[in-house]
Structure 1
């Protein structure tokens, strides 16, 4: 079992509750999409799965380990087996793309090797191969600040593909891409997961992409699981309920008050 969550809750330091009683089991090699309205807790759930956040209630198991019962060193080794694609990749503006991609292996490299890689990229062919899959091979030696938002997201994906994690988590990985490119890029991620037996969990705003690329879809709202179903069973009624928002309902348009008609009679 890659992921096991039992009644997991997450409360942030400011007192707000992000997740409530979340129970999920995701097997090795599964491809799962998480959908839901803004503020539903999708990013918090992915960061918790990546061991970036510690649950405040319940039980979390990742790759057959309970992360918060491990030592700091053991937890770091566990994190090297997890790849996280951020919606906005944390890439320094002046960093070269080749260095950003090769940083995917930092969890496996010694400090000395990591420092050498900053000055002299250690695996240029490997970085180029991953970028080529995403049509970015020509940006190998460009600086990150020279790229568009969609190109930066693809660099972040190339970085995780180069990492070769066992668990791949993606938080809105194609939000800055046009629909055609987003569909193509998700296809690459899903194909990589299928070919390498990688467990893939992605949060997506675009419901049509979730239904097209992922066999299993989880609906999240207000920090709780609303449904967990095969994609083929997710219909319009479920989606309407998931995204319903009374606060966004159009208020009735006020009608102008009737103005009494005053007729001026000219004086003779």
Structure 2
């Protein structure tokens, strides 16, 4: 099992971002997470990546309990997990080749990592990762010269170069045009299928989630609303998931969302 959550909750100060989330994601599965803004999609991805510690419940990742490990052992576990950010945290003056090769910093020693900042150690490998995303010509360009969509593709190339066992992507194509978004998600899925990588993506575009991922999880207000094969996601489920509570009448008591949670 790649990822298991047992009653996982997460609080940001006084705000509860996730509540009693139970999930099982097998090695090699490809899963999309959808839901309205503020539903907890990014929080869930960062919790899976061990960037955030559960406030309650438990996470198991690749057969380990990350928060029961020593800091050093947890860092080794993180090297097996890739995380693609919506806005990749890349220094503006850093060259693209260095940004991509940094995907393996967790697997290299300190000396090699430092030398790589001055003398990129695997230019052909970085070029190949970028070429798959149409960015081979940007190899030695500074990140600050790229558009938002190009930076997202560099972030994806960095994760592919890392070769993780679990790849978590948080709105990875939100700044791309529709053609590039479709191409990039197709590439991620091909890579995951070919290498047995567990791929989890939070996506704003429902049509992309349904087109590219066999399993779709809908979350709202920090809770799982449905967990289904893509072909089982109906208009009724989506209407309930994205219902704008500010624009529809709500009963004086009781929950506003009454959808039962379908399971695979």
TM range (shorter): over 0.9
1:229 equivalent in structure 2: 228
How far apart, CA to CA, are the structure 2 residues paired with 1:248 and 1:26? 35
1:42 equivalent in structure 2: 41
1:243 equivalent in structure 2: 242
CA RMSD of aligned residues (A): 0.9
1:127-166 matches, cutoff 5 A: 127-166=126-165
2:200 equivalent in structure 1: 201
Task: Go from structure 1 to structure 2 and tell me whether the alpha carbon gap of 1:23 and 1:207 turns closer, same or farther (over 3 Å shift).
Answer: same
2:23 equivalent in structure 1: 24
- 1:87 is paired with a residue of what secondary structure? coil
How far apart, CA to CA, are the structure 1 residues paired with 2:245 and 2:225? 17
How far apart, CA to CA, are the structure 1 residues paired with 2:204 and 2:184? 15
Unaligned runs of 5+ in 1: 251-268
- 1:174 is paired with a residue of what secondary structure? coil
Runs of 4+ with deviation above 3 angstroms? none
How far apart, CA to CA, are the structure 2 residues paired with 1:115 and 1:9? 38
Unaligned runs of 5+ in 2: 250-264
1:6 equivalent in structure 2: 6
Task: Go from structure 1 to structure 2 and tell me whether the alpha carbon gap of 1:60 and 1:92 turns closer, same or farther (over 3 Å shift).
Answer: same
TM-score under structure 2 length normalisation: 0.93
How far apart, CA to CA, are the structure 2 residues paired with 1:148 and 1:235? 36
How far apart, CA to CA, are the structure 2 residues paired with 1:248 and 1:115? 54
Question: Per-residue CA shift, 1:27-78, capped at 9, x if unaligned?
Answer: 0000000000000000000000000000011111000000000000000000
How far apart, CA to CA, are the structure 2 residues paired with 1:22 and 1:37? 17
TM-score under structure 1 length normalisation: 0.92
How far apart, CA to CA, are the structure 1 residues paired with 2:47 and 2:135? 30
Deviation at residue 249 of structure 1 after TM alignment: 5.7
1:44-59 matches, cutoff 5 A: 44-59=43-58
Deviation at residue 246 of structure 1 after TM alignment: 2.5
1:215 aligns with 2:226: no
Number of aligned residue pairs: 249
